[in-house]
Amino acid sequence: MMKLFTSEETNNPIRLPMKDAEVWYYPNFYSEEIATTFQKKIMAETEWQEDDITVFGKTYKQPRLTALYGDDGKSYSYSNIKMQPKKFTSLLEDIKNDVEKISNEKYTTVLLNLYRDGSDSNGWHSDDEKELGKHPFIASLSFGAKRTFHFKHKHNKNERFKMNLKHGSLLLMGGTTQAYWQHQLPKSKKQLLPRINLTFRNIKVSFI
């Protein structure tokens, strides 16, 4: 059974009741005014790219635009895509510092995703690439259109959650979350404005 969590009224962090996971949601990490300013600036400054992905022998355009920024030059690979980081902009550096303070974690890299409308998406996956080491900590910021985010347990099909990620919100995923859970941002038939997602992570090893 899919459980829906809504929690936009509070400024306090909320821990999702997910076993084998440590997931915290800050619905109002940034005010709407600040979030809107950041969204516009990130949209204008980011060097977006659209990569090809191959599924079952067929190649498609990835259903979103992406960009990678970092402070150590380490590459990042996922779904047979290898990305080289650009140097953090001053705004991304400032946002990283804000997220590090609240999460008590350090990040070397941020992967940005631009979902242009409801037809852009991200399929089921875990952020468990070898570069991230064991039990990686992922901090995910949302700017723009509200989108529904899904979780499902890898071993218990009855453990499923979904939540609406709002403009200016922060989602923290730590502990064994990536080992036991997958997540996705599905397509939507609704007419949606763009959404930008920033996922901060610590790349420990870069594989060439």
Domain at 18, CATH number: 2.60.120.590
pLDDT, position 10: 60
The conformation of residue 193, written as its DSSP 8-state character, comes to -
Start-to-end Cα distance in the chain: 42
pLDDT, position 54: 72
* Domain presence at residue 208: no
* Domain presence at residue 178: yes
* Domain presence at residue 207: no
Q: Compute the residue count for the chain.
A: 208
Query: How many domains does the chain fold into?
Result: 1
Query: pLDDT for 161-175, tens place per residue?
Result: 999 999 999 999 999
pLDDT, position 198: 98
* Domain presence at residue 85: yes
| Positions of the chain with pLDDT under 70 | 1-11, 55-56, 79, 205-208
Angle between helix 32-45 and helix 90-103 axes, rounded to 10 deg:
130
Q: Is 108 left (phi over 0), alpha (psi -120 to 50) or beta?
A: alpha
* Domain presence at residue 32: yes
* Domain presence at residue 87: yes
Rounded-to-integer distance, Cα 177 and Cα 197, Å? 19
Rounded-to-integer distance, Cα 43 and Cα 29, Å? 19
* Domain presence at residue 176: yes
Q: For residue 181, which of 148, 203, 200, 159 has the smallest C-alpha distance? A: 159
Provide the domain limits for residue 51.
2-201
* Domain presence at residue 47: yes
Query: pLDDT for 181-206, tens place per residue?
Result: 999 999 999 999 999 999 999 987 65
Cβ-proximal residues to 202 (8 Å cutoff; 6+ apart), any chain: 105, 106, 107, 108, 109, 132, 133, 136, 137
Q: Largest alpha-carbon pair distance within the chain?
A: 46
Amino acid at 180: Y
The two tokens of residue 14 are 């909320």
